[in-house]
Chains A and B, each alone.
Chain A
Amino acid sequence: MRKGSSSTASPSNGREGKAPSDRSTDVRPEPADTSSDILDSSLDLEEAHFREGYSDGHRHGVAAGREEGRQVGLKTGFETGEEVGLYRGCVGVRGSAIRADPTRYSARVQKSVRTMEALLDGHPTTEPEDELVQEMVGDLRLKSRAVRASLGAKLENRGYLKGVDNEDVEF
C-alpha cells in the first residue's frame, strides 16, 4: 500500500509566515514618525502656510493696533484733558475770587463752584474708561453750564469741546 502525503502543515514550526516584529498590516507610519515619509511634507505645507500667515498677521495686527490705540488714546485723552482742564481753570479763578471777596457771587454760584472743586479733586486721571469717571465729567459739564448761564459768561473758544450738535455752533 502507498503512503499518502499529508497537505496539512504540522503546527510544529510555529505560526506560518509571521515574524515576531511584524504585528500590523497598516502601511501608514506612526504619527510621531513624520520624517520617515517623503509625502509628509506636502500634507504639512498647508498647515505651515497657515501658521506663517497667522503669525505674520498677528505681528502686524499688534503693531497696527498699538499705533491706532495710541492715536485714539491721544485724541480722547486730549479732549478729556482739555475739558477737565477748563473746569479746573474756571473753578480756580472763581474760587480765588470768592476767597478774595465773599460777596462776589451769589450763594448758589458759590455752592456750585465748591461742588465742582470737590468733583475735580475726586477725579482720578488714571481710569479713563471707568464709567464713574465719565459720569463725573458729565456732572461737571452740567454744573459748568449752569454756572456760566447764571453769570452770563460765554465760552469764547469752544476748542474741542463737544456740543450737542457735535459741530460748530451753527443753526
Chain B
Amino acid sequence: MESHDGAWSLKEVQKLEGHTDRVWSVAWNPAAGVAGVPAMLASCSGDKTVRVWEQNPSSSSWFCKAVLDETHTRTVRSCAWSPSGKLLATGSFDATTAIWENVGGDFECVSTLEGHENEVKSVCWNASGSLLATCGRDRSVWIWEVLPGNEFECASVLQGHTQDVKMVQWHPTMDILFSCSYDNTIKIWAEDGDDDWHCVQTLSEANGGHTSTVWALSFNTAGDKMVTCSDDLTIKVWETDSAKMMSGDGYVPWSHVCTLSGYHDRTIFSVHWSREGIIASGAADDAIRFFVESKDGSVDGPSYKMILRNEKAHDMDVNSVRWSHGENRFLASASDDGTVKIWELVPVI
C-alpha cells in the first residue's frame, strides 16, 4: 500500500437485515455503482431466497429492491453477476443453478441448469461472460456456454477432485478455471481445443499447499497472484509468471510464494483481493481481517502483514467478504447471523 502506512479502521456503513436464515454469499453488480447507476448487491441465504439490495443515490442508504423466491427449493449457496450485470446466476443445494435476468428492475428466472447430482456450492462467470462454471458436492465441475436467448449448453463435466468442490473462480483475464475443494487441493483447468477441458495443474500439500479444506480463492487485478484460504487456519499466496502467461505460449504453472499463519485461529471461509491490493478475509471467529504486501524488502520472497482486524464484525461466522468494484474501499460481508453488512475501510490519519 503505497498511499498509507499508518493505521486503518473499518466503518460499518449499514447492516442489511431481511434474510431469515444464514447468509452464505454476496456479490456486487459490476455494472452498477458507476456512471450514475445506483450500486447494487445480491445476497443468498439458507432461507432459499436471493435478495437484491440497491443504494439510494440521494440518501446513500441501502434498501431491499427485490426478493427472488419460489424458485430454489433449498438453501441458495452462491450468487454471481455476469460481467454485463444483466444476469445473476444462483447455485443451490437443490442441485440446480438458476439464471435470473434483470428486466427493468424486475428479476425473472429465465433458465434453470440441471446436471449436478447434489448440492451446488459455487457459481462463477468468466471475464467475457461467455462461460459459467459451477461446482458441487458431487465432486464435479461443470462448464456451461452461454448462447443467445439465455440458452445454456453444457460444454464439459470435469472430474478430478476426490471430495466436495467448494468454489470455482475464473482467472480475471484468461479462460482458465480454478477450483478448490474439501480434498485440500486447488485444481486448474484449461481448454485444449474444442470443449476439451482437463486439469493442467493441481496445487496440493506437496507443492506447499493447504493441509485441510480449501474454502476460497481470489486473484489480484493483474491476474498474476492468487490468494487462497483454508480450514488449516492459513492464507496462502501463489504466483505465476505473468510475462510468459501473456505470451500465450502454453500453460504457465503457479507456485506457492507465501503462507500467512498465526493470524487466524478458526477456519477462514472467504478471501478477496481488492483492486488496490488489500486482501480481506472472513472467518469462523466472526472477524474480518485485512492484509497487504509488506515492502520490507525480504530476500525470501514477498511477505504480507495484517493491517487491521475487526473482531466482532458479525455475531456469528463470516461466510463471505467481497470488495466492491468501484474506486472506493467498500466491502460487503455475509454471515451465519443472517445479516449482510456494508463496510468502508478508511485510513486513520
Whether A106 contacts B139 in the complex (CB less than 8 A), given A169-B117, A171-B74, comes out as no
A149 engages B142 (CB within 8 Å)? yes
Whether A164 contacts B139 in the complex (CB less than 8 A), given A142-B157, A171-B93, comes out as yes
Among residues of A, the one whose C-beta sits closest to the C-beta of B137 is A164
A163 engages B157 (CB within 8 Å)? no
Contact with B along A137-156 (1 / 0, CB 8 A): 00000100111111010100
Contact of B114 among A111, A149, A164 (CB under 8 A): A149
A164 engages B118 (CB within 8 Å)? yes
Indicate if B195 sits at the interface (CB-CB under 8 A): yes
Chain A at the B interface: SS class:
helix
B117 engages A163 (CB within 8 Å)? yes
Contact of A164 among B113, B138, B194, B195 (CB under 8 A): B138
CA distance A130 to B107 in the complex (A): 52
Indicate if B156 sits at the interface (CB-CB under 8 A): yes
Indicate if A109 sits at the interface (CB-CB under 8 A): yes
Distance of B49 from chain A, by nearest CB (Å): 18
CA distance A150 to B145 in the complex (A): 10
CA distance A111 to B145 in the complex (A): 15
A150 engages B117 (CB within 8 Å)? no
Residues of B within 8 A of A33 (CB): none
A148 engages B115 (CB within 8 Å)? yes
Indicate if B119 sits at the interface (CB-CB under 8 A): yes
Distance of A107 from chain B, by nearest CB (Å): 10
Residues of A within 8 A of B113 (CB): 149
Indicate if B106 sits at the interface (CB-CB under 8 A): no
Indicate if A28 sits at the interface (CB-CB under 8 A): no
Indicate if B153 sits at the interface (CB-CB under 8 A): yes
Among residues of A, the one whose C-beta sits closest to the C-beta of B74 is A171
A152 engages B114 (CB within 8 Å)? yes
Contact with A along B145-171 (1 / 0, CB 8 A): 101000011111101000000000000
Indicate if A46 sits at the interface (CB-CB under 8 A): no
CA distance A64 to B83 in the complex (A): 64
Contact of A106 among B93, B142, B153, B157 (CB under 8 A): B153
A146 engages B156 (CB within 8 Å)? yes
Indicate if A131 sits at the interface (CB-CB under 8 A): no
A108 engages B195 (CB within 8 Å)? yes
- Residues of chain A at interface, number, CB under 8 A: 18
Whether A154 contacts B153 in the complex (CB less than 8 A), given A142-B159, A149-B142, comes out as no
Residues of B within 8 A of A152 (CB): 114
Indicate if A165 sits at the interface (CB-CB under 8 A): yes
Distance of A94 from chain B, by nearest CB (Å): 15
A154 engages B119 (CB within 8 Å)? no
Residues of A within 8 A of B145 (CB): 108
Within 8 A of A (CB), among B100-145: 113-115, 117-119, 137-139, 142, 145
Distance of B159 from chain A, by nearest CB (Å): 7
Tell which of A142, A146, A163 has the most Cβ of chain B within 10 Å.
Answer: A146
A171 engages B115 (CB within 8 Å)? no
A146 engages B157 (CB within 8 Å)? yes
CA distance A152 to B118 in the complex (A): 16
CA distance A171 to B116 in the complex (A): 12
Residues of A within 8 A of B156 (CB): 146
CA distance A150 to B146 in the complex (A): 11
B153 engages A164 (CB within 8 Å)? no
CA distance A114 to B156 in the complex (A): 15
Chain A residues proximal to chain B, CB less than 8 Å: 106, 108-109, 111, 142, 145-150, 152, 154, 163-165, 169, 171
**Beyond A150-B152, A171-B95, 20 additional pairs, beta carbon < 8 A:** A108-B153, A109-B153, A111-B194, A142-B159, A145-B154, A146-B115, A146-B156, A146-B157, A147-B154, A148-B115, A149-B113, A149-B114, A149-B115, A149-B142, A149-B154, A164-B117, A164-B138, A165-B117, A169-B118, A171-B119
Which 3 residue pairs are nearest across A and B when measured between Cβ atoms? Answer: A149-B115, A149-B154, A146-B154
Q: Show 6 residue pairs from A and B whose CB-CB distance is below 8 angstroms, ordered by the A residue.
A: A106-B147, A142-B157, A146-B157, A149-B157, A165-B117, A171-B94
